């Protein structure tokens, strides 16, 4: 074997050195994953606001609740009797006497010879004597015959009777009342001759213009049965 030359020896030493250094290097690590951006998940609410709770609807009526009953006299299906006193926010009204048919016509004839039968042969006048007390808050309130009408089994609210139609007995119901003031007087109403279930309709006026009483369907009406 030929002896190694100096150049060969240097080459071998360099190769050995490279191998030793390679063994000392750390093992390569896999590349780190790229960071991902994500939105945080919304957290679950721990409680439901009272306004969103199904049991928080104050206006709902549960099956065990009942609606408030209508005031007596505020509906034609629930009139007060003529023996009772109608009480509203402004008035207390009592029926003192009721005349119909021949009795009413006889009294009207005593009042004036110009009083006669109703111009409609199917209709007749009734006379009602009322006691009225004002219990409202206004300084004065005016009560008179035009705020009283009638309804019966025909289910039609008849117009009020004016002094042009008939002259009623004295005292006629007409007064300006202060709170606590009272008065009594007669009013005339018109009804069908063959009608039953006659009720006095108390329908306060909205305004009084050019000698005309203006009524509105929005104005509350009150009902008093005139049946014995």
Q: Domain holding 160: CATH number?
A: 2.60.40.1240
Q: Give the range of the structural domain holding residue 217, as residue numbers without chain letter.
A: 87-225
| Model pTM above 0.75 | no
Which pLDDT does position 217 carry in this prediction?
63
Residue 17 falls within a domain, yes or no? no
Residue 62, by phi and psi: left (phi above 0), alpha (psi -120 to 50) or beta? beta
Specify whether the CB–CB gap between 147 and 205 falls below 8 A.
yes
Q: How many domains does the chain have?
A: 1
Q: What is the pLDDT of residue 68?
A: 41
Residue 205 is predicted with a pLDDT of 64
Q: What is the pLDDT of residue 70?
A: 75
CA dihedral 100, 102, 104, 105 (to 10 degrees): 140
pLDDT attached to residue 50 = 36
pLDDT given at position 81: 98
Q: Quick one: pLDDT at residue 7? A: 63
**What are residue 129's DSSP bridge partners?**
97, 186
To which H or E segment does residue 106 belong? Answer: helix 102-111
Residue 156 lies in a domain: yes
Beta strands in the chain (DSSP E): 85-87, 91-100, 123-134, 141-144, 148-151, 174-177, 182-192, 199-202, 207-209, 212-214, 222-225
User: Does residue 133 lie within any of the structural domains?
Assistant: yes
Q: Which residues of the chain have pLDDT under 50?
A: 33-68, 213
């Amino acid at each position: 074997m030929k002896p190694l030359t100096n150049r060969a020896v240097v080459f071998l030493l360099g190769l050995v050195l490279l191998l030793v250094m390679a063994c000392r290097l750390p093992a390569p690590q896999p590349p780190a994953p790229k960071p991902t951006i994500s939105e945080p998940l919304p957290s679950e609410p721990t409680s439901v606001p009272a306004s969103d709770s199904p049991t928080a609807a104050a206006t709902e009526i549960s099956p065990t609740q009942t609606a408030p009953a209508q005031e007596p006299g505020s509906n034609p299906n629930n009139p007060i009797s003529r023996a009772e006193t109608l009480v509203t926010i402004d008035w207390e009204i009592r029926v003192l006497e009721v005349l119909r048919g021949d009795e009413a016509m006889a009294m009207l004839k005593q009042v004036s010879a110009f009083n006669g039968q109703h111009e409609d042969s199917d209709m007749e006048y009734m006379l009602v004597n009322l006691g009225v007390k004002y219990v409202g808050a206004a300084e004065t309130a005016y009560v008179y015959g035009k705020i009283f009408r009638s309804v019966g089994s025909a289910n039609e609210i008849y117009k009020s009777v004016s002094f042009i139609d008939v002259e009623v007995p004295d005292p006629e119901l007409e007064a300006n009342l202060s709170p606590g003031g009272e008065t009594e007087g007669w009013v005339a109403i018109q009804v069908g001759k063959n009608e039953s279930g006659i009720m006095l309709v108390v329908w306060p006026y909205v305004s009084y213009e050019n000698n005309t009483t203006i009524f509105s369907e929005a104005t509350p009406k009150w009902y008093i049965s005139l049946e014995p």
